[in-house]
Amino acid sequence: MSSHHQAESDIALRVKAIELLLVEKGIIDPATLDTIIDAYEHKIGPHNGARIVARAWIDPEFKHRLLADGTSAIAEMKLTGFSSEHMVVVENTPNIHNLIVCTLCSCYPWAILGLPPTWYKSFAYRSRAVIDPRGVLQEFGLEIPEQVEVRVWDSNADLRYLVLPERPPGTEKMTEDKLAGLVTRNAMIGTAKVQSPAAPID
């Protein structure tokens, strides 16, 4: 995002200096860094999770396997990977709303959702999501009715979590690809619902 007209921030300069030193000392290989950066910029991201959700919406048998054993069902789609080795998928229903947090640090299913958003790593989210999940969800614009059970999942150990959001009404005729386009990162963390498509689908 930096342009030639803008001075680089202190943190960017510091990172650059550290990187230069590490490369100079032969501790890291620039080609390795490029591989990792390219993977997270171009290959890995919430679109992977969205494909899993869309598949579950259209294929009841896949959904059954996904909820029973997230790791092996996701492996069928070849979407497992680093920091998504042991996956648990939890389903939102009209009676249950799931929310994912890591209170200890920022554990997150990287291979499925990409790198975690800044707010997910913030002390405020990590502490408040467990003690006041409904308050946090309200700030995300999500009012959870009193009769709906809120389930918070703390990914403190080695398992990583993905929320299977409810399929919105008005999407009955949509293809798997189109459905995947509706699914947002936040809906798979549990801080949003998947919205119905704005325009009617032919």
Partner 1 sequence: MTAAQAEELLRNGLSCRAENDTFAQFQVGDCVRARVMHPQTYTRLPRYVRGKVGIIVKDRGVYVFPDTVGQRLDTKPQHVYSVQFAAQELWGTNAPANDTLFIDLFDDHLEAV
CB neighbour list of residue 161: distance below 8 Å, 6 or more residues apart: 87, 88, 89, 90, 98, 100, 109, 153, 155
Minimum CB separation from partner 1 for residue 18, in Å? 17
Residues of this chain that interact with partner 1 (CB under 8 A) are 28-29, 31-32, 34-36, 39, 44, 80-86, 88, 103-104, 111, 130-131, 133-134, 146-147, 149-159
Closest CA to 49 of 191, 140, 164, 174: 164
Name the minimum Å distance from CB 31 to partner 1.
4
Amino acid at 189: I
- Cβ proximity to partner 1: between 21 and 37 the closer is 37
State yes or no: is 107 an active-site residue.
yes
Check 9, 105, 122, 127 and give the catalytic one: 105
Rank residues 105 and 201 by Cβ distance to partner 1 and give the closer one: 105
Q: Which two tokens stand for residue 134?
A: 């409904």
- Is-contact 117 110, C-beta < 8 A? no
Binding residues for Fe(3+): 102, 105-107
